[in-house]
Amino acid sequence: MIELVDIHKSFGSLEVLRGVSLTVGTGEVICIIGPSGSGKSTLLRCINHLENPERGAIRIAGHSVYYDLVDGVRQPHSKQRIAEVRAKLGMVFQSFNLFPHLTALENIIEAPVHVGGMSKKDASARALELMRRVGLEDKADYYPEEMSGGQQQRTAIARALAMGPAAMLFDEPTSALDPELVHEVLEVMRRLRDDGMTMIIVTHEMNFARQVANRILFMDRGVIVEEDSPERLFGSPREQRTRAFLKNVLER
């Protein structure tokens, strides 16, 4: 479903990703953990082209994200192609990034109507269905700032789902939330997994990662240090760096 090969990305002289490869199958849930600055978020942002890696290839459902090979020559994608790839991937941000001038419902129908060409009526019906799925059917007319952080993030998830994405990318979706609101967002994500959604989740919620992930990736300094099932990675990590990180996080 999603395939990353040898991704390299630098910001100036700082190498943020130093050769990351990863394959995610359909319906699989991958959680990426690791200390801040380890490149987790950057990796996620490379997948939908919000960052442009210097080296490496990313394929989504067999289609290359950055370029096509035409007779062995790299043809970078047009802006239109990039936009199309992005529409196939739902992304949820740490800071929600809802559009403040639009209501929850308008946030959700914005892309289906103006990118997907759906009629407002159909898009609204679908949006209401999505709002029900995230437990916010009564908040359709609310503006983002009238909602709690947890409600905003659930709206953001519904917005990302509205384009019918093949996979969802979550960039620390609960890090900006008050502790008592974390649960409601994780619950929605748990249900998405039960529905068979392919997900890549960057998170600091270790318990959640342990419960929902098929695989855990531990990243540090731009590489995947260790990759394993939750039981093994949390139970008996092989790498010293993983052990040190988990000890730090879990004993807090």
Partner 1 sequence: MDLLNLDVARQYLGVLLQGLLITVGLTLSVITMSCALAIPVALARMSPNRLIRTPVSAYVELIRATPLLLQLVYIYYVLPSFGIRLPGMAAAVIGLTLNYTAYLSEVYRGGIKAVNQGQWQAAAALGMTDTLAFRRIILPQAIRIVIPSLGNYFISLFKDTALCSVVGVQELMFKGQIVSARSFQYFTIYTLTGILYLAVGYPSALLVRWLESISSRGYSRRKRR
Residue type for 208, please? F
| 170 or 218: CB nearest partner 1 | 170
Residue from 91, 161, 186, 219 binding partner 1 (CB under 8 A): 91
Separation in Å, CA 124 to CA 100, 108, 110, 117: 18, 8, 10, 13
8 Å CB contact between 67 and 29: no
Residue with tokens 């709206």: 155
Query: What is the C-alpha separation between 242 and 46, in angstroms, rounded?
Result: 24
The minimum distance between CB 109 and partner 1, in angstroms, equals 11
Q: Is 160 in the site for partner 1 (CB under 8 A)?
A: yes
Residue from 54, 84, 137, 178 binding partner 1 (CB under 8 A): 84
Exposed e or buried b per residue across 164-186, where buried means at least 16 C-beta atoms within 10 angstroms of its C-beta: ebbbbbbbbbbeebeeebbebbb
8 Å CB contact between 32 and 217: yes
The minimum distance between CB 32 and partner 1, in angstroms, equals 18
Piece of 30-38, 54-62, 153-161, 185-193 that binds partner 1 (CB under 8 A): 153-161
The minimum distance between CB 100 and partner 1, in angstroms, equals 5
> Contact residues for partner 1 (CB under 8 A)?
48-50, 79-80, 83-84, 86-91, 93, 95, 97-101, 103, 110-111, 114-116, 141-146, 156, 159-160, 163
